[in-house]
Structure 1
Amino acid sequence: MTAANEREIVVGADGSAGSAAAVRWALSEAAASGRTVAVLRAWTFDPLADLESAVARSYGEIASRYRHELDVTVARACPDADLAKVRTGAIDGAPGPALVRASAGAAMLVLGSHGHSRVLHLLVGSVSEYCLRQAYCPVVIVPARSAEERGPLPDARPDPLL
């Protein structure tokens, strides 16, 4: 574990709205705490699930495409981010185990949530659930919809007319 890793915030990103929210949150946290951010996309070569991967010319081409997508995600999520403190990378492997490996020595692992169900793995996603149970550092789950998109908090006081 290096001092650089101890200060790094690792973010799992897959192009979803939840991962974009996680990238925004991590960049904001990094700016406030002076940490660096690693935005990572885990992937496996599965020609049955990804026709584009099946016709790609090389492993390097696929990894390069994912790194480019991550660069675009970071630029859109926070145009004012200090890009010198952000690195992107495509990591080979199933997302849960790959992100857990990346969490070793990190300050925190940040993931997005799709939040559509009552059951934990449906609430945060199976990758998020796996990481919550296995990560080597604290895990932050960021809702896909930000607080600004939800509007003001409901008034906790009882309605006097009811």
Structure 2
Amino acid sequence: MEQRPRIVVGVSGSLGSLAAVHRAVAEARRLGGEVLALHAWEPPSGEFGHRRSPCPPLMSAVRELAVTTLAEAMAEAFGGADPGVPLTARTVRGRTAPTLLAAADRPGDLLVLGPSGSWLHRGMRGSVPRACLRRATCPVLVVPRPELAHTLDELSGRLFAARALDAELRGLVAVSGDA
């Protein structure tokens, strides 16, 4: 019996990952396939830190946060509506890129990813899309950042600049008022 195509998609809850979920569902519709949405999580100090100093209550809290993050992301992506294709959402303990690569291991799989995170995230953890593109044994589709994300970045940049100018002006007023 021939398996239906499987589209594996990484879900972090970011706008980029939500765009990737929508693209994965569109690809599943086009190919007559199913979607496997994964949210990977790790202990706060990584596996090595956890083995050195295990803390069961912390692990339970982090696991529960991962489950909540995935559920909220899926609710946000579809607003409670049926996506129209078979969709399974799972949290998996592990680093993001290796977890996604292990899941997208069947012939005919397609791995769909959102864009890399912020420069800080990439600097600390590396680029998930880059790691997956380098090591994947199946096709990988990286969805570009949504236009809304660009607009929000621009607006937050303007807000930051306005606050900095406001603080600078308050400093000038305080200094001139002392004279």
Rate the CA distance shift 1:116–1:40 in 2: closer, same or farther, 3 A: closer
What's 1:143 paired with? 144
| Partners of 2:12 and 2:69 within 8 A in 1 | no
How many angstroms apart in 2 are the aligned matches of 1:27 and 1:146? 19
Secondary structure of the residue aligned to 1:40 is strand
Structure 2: gaps of 5 or more residues: 47-53, 152-179
The Cα of 1:100 is off from its aligned counterpart by 1.0
Aligned pairs for 1:85-96 (under 5 A) are 85-96=86-97
Q: What is the Cα-based RMSD across aligned positions, in Å?
A: 3.2
The Cα of 1:91 is off from its aligned counterpart by 1.1
Rate the CA distance shift 1:64–1:56 in 2: closer, same or farther, 3 A: same
Aligned pairs for 1:13-28 (under 5 A) are 13-28=11-26
What's 1:113 paired with? 115
Greater share of residues in strand: 1
Percent identity over paired residues: 31
Aligned pairs for 1:6-155 (under 5 A) are 7-47=5-45, 57=57, 59=59, 62-79=62-79, 80-82=81-83, 85-105=86-106, 107-114=109-116, 126-145=127-146
How many angstroms apart in 1 are the aligned matches of 2:70 and 2:130? 22
Greater share of residues in helix: 2
Listed one character per residue, the Cα deviations across residues 110-162 of structure 1 (whole Å, up to 9, x for unaligned) are 10014889xxx79xx61110000111210000012159x99xxxxxxxxxxxx
Structure 1: gaps of 5 or more residues: 49-53, 151-162
Q: State the structure with more CA Rg.
A: 2
| Partners of 1:56 and 1:62 within 8 A in 2 | no
The Cα of 1:88 is off from its aligned counterpart by 1.0
How many angstroms apart in 2 are the aligned matches of 1:71 and 1:83? 18
How many angstroms apart in 2 are the aligned matches of 1:56 and 1:20? 31
How many angstroms apart in 1 are the aligned matches of 2:91 and 2:111? 16
| Partners of 1:27 and 1:81 within 8 A in 2 | no
